[in-house]
Amino acid sequence: MNIRERQEQLEHEILSPFASFSDMSKGRDRYEEACDIRTIYQRDRDRIIHCKSFRRLKHKTQVFLAPEGDHYRTRLTHTLEVSQIARTIARALRLNEDLTEAIALGHDLGHTPFGHAGERVLNSICPLGFAHFRQSVRVVEFLEKDGKGLNLTKEVRDGILNHRTSGNPSTLEGKVVRLSDKIAYINHDIDDGIRAGIISESDIPREFTEILGNTTKQRLNTLVNDIVINSLNENGIFMSDKVGKAMKELREYMFTSLYLNPAAKKEEEKADKLITELYEYYIHNIDKLPINYKKFITDFNQKEEQVVCDYIAGMSDQYSIMKFKEIFVPKSWKD
């Protein structure tokens, strides 16, 4: 028995009967020899961490566009916070921590520059539409490794696709990530909003703080504990009605007070114009795409509109600004 097989055996001895066992995965689209050391979900996690799309998250907006300061969240730090929360819950419930981590680390790989502002504008101008959760799956199934994709398991891809609010993951691990995503962004966005001077802790309505707590630490503790207590030994992931309702309404409060606040969104019109101009430029100048993206069209028969979306969605905030300047801003003449 090799190390991987021993780990798979331990999962059956330790994990909940409702967990997703590594040796019972539905597998990958393309067959691969099993690793002697790592389980199938551990390999998925490692592939995500080592892929280019994951590294680009460090320069993609979470809420604040191009923030000045080192402590505002980026799409990467958001992803790491989701992973930490999800792993805490999964371990407490004796679920598969490796599957949970892989889904969490991959859930936002398809996010655009400038956060949801970039997502909205691509969805509005591309005739094929655009949604970051579908794009995240496209990244791991196709875009990475020049059209080969990462060949991840069906369970990880299902969790990535269904992490959105209206999603319904097929595994408990995916359901944990779906809730952890919301727990993470509600709390760290409050923290960033306070740092930016847009809201203060005292602005949060008492009907939420009395239930969830008056600090980020208290709220995280309340939400995580509520999920664990209500989901122990259950074939599902649950929250109490009181805490679940408070979290839902706090999320709605965040939309009105922060996400749609003019102070936080004053640069979005510029981001919209930037992405629109880049899209129109590349649609009319397909030959200007990088060679690997042009091959998606010529070698893989992908639609031009889709590939232009792929290229722009993969850009970091800084890279998209650089390309805009390169294409549209006149350069100084030099002798």
pLDDT digits (tens, 9 = 90+) for 154-195: 999 999 999 999 999 999 999 999 999 999 999 999 998 898
Q: Note the pLDDT of residue 61.
A: 83
How far apart, in whole angstroms, are the C-alpha atoms of residue 66 and residue 73? Answer: 11
Query: What pLDDT shows up at residue 274?
Result: 96
**Residues in the chain, how many?**
335
Give per-residue pLDDT as tens, 22-46: 999 999 999 999 999 999 999 999 9
Amino acid at 222: T
Q: Which amino acid does the sequence have at 135?
A: Q
Q: Residue 17, exposed/middle/buried by CB under 10 A (0-12, 13-18, 19+)?
A: exposed
Contact between 162 and 230 (Cβ < 8 Å): no
Rg (CA), the chain: 21
For residue 335, pLDDT over 60 is answered with no
pLDDT of 94 > 60? The answer is: yes
Q: Determine which of 32-36, 175-179, 196-200, 201-205 has the lowest per-residue pLDDT on average.
A: 196-200
Distance of CA 37 to the CA centre of its chain: 28
Mean pLDDT of the chain, nearest integer: 94
Q: Identify any residues that bridge with 74 across adjacent strands, giving them in sequence order.
A: 61
Q: What percentage of the chain carries pLDDT values higher than 70? A: 96
Query: Are 51 and 109 spatial neighbours (Cβ–Cβ below 8 Å)?
Result: yes
The pLDDT assigned to 279 comes to 98
126-149 tens-digit pLDDT: 999 999 999 999 999 999 999 999
Q: Where are the domains of the chain?
A: 42-265, 268-328
Type of residue at 318: Q
Task: Write out pLDDT tens, residues 45-82.
Answer: 999 999 999 999 999 988 766 556 677 889 999 999 99
pTM attached to this predicted model: 0.96
pLDDT digits (tens, 9 = 90+) for 101-127: 999 999 999 999 998 899 999 999 999
Q: Tokens at residue 219, please?
A: 């709220």
Going by C-alpha positions, the residue among 103, 106, 79, 108 that lies closest to residue 237 is 103
* Cα(149)–Cα(169) distance, integer angstroms: 21
Q: What is the pLDDT of residues 220-269, one digit of tens each?
A: 999 999 999 999 999 999 999 999 999 999 999 988 888 777 766 777 88
Rounded distance between C-alpha atoms, residue 89 and residue 100, angstroms: 9
pLDDT at 92: 98
The SS3 call for residue 61 is: strand
**pLDDT at site 166:** 93
Distance between CA 225 and CA 241 in Å, rounded?
14
- Tokens representing 287 are 């030959």
What does the pLDDT average to over 3-8? Answer: 98
Phi, psi of 129 (to 5 degrees): 80, 170
Per-residue pLDDT at 68: 60
What is the spatial distance between Cα 203 and Cα 187, in angstroms, rounded to a whole number? Answer: 14
CATH of the domain spanning 42-265, picked from 1.10.3210.10, 1.10.3720.10, 1.10.357.10, 3.40.50.12500: 1.10.3210.10
Number of H helices, E strands in the chain: 17, 0
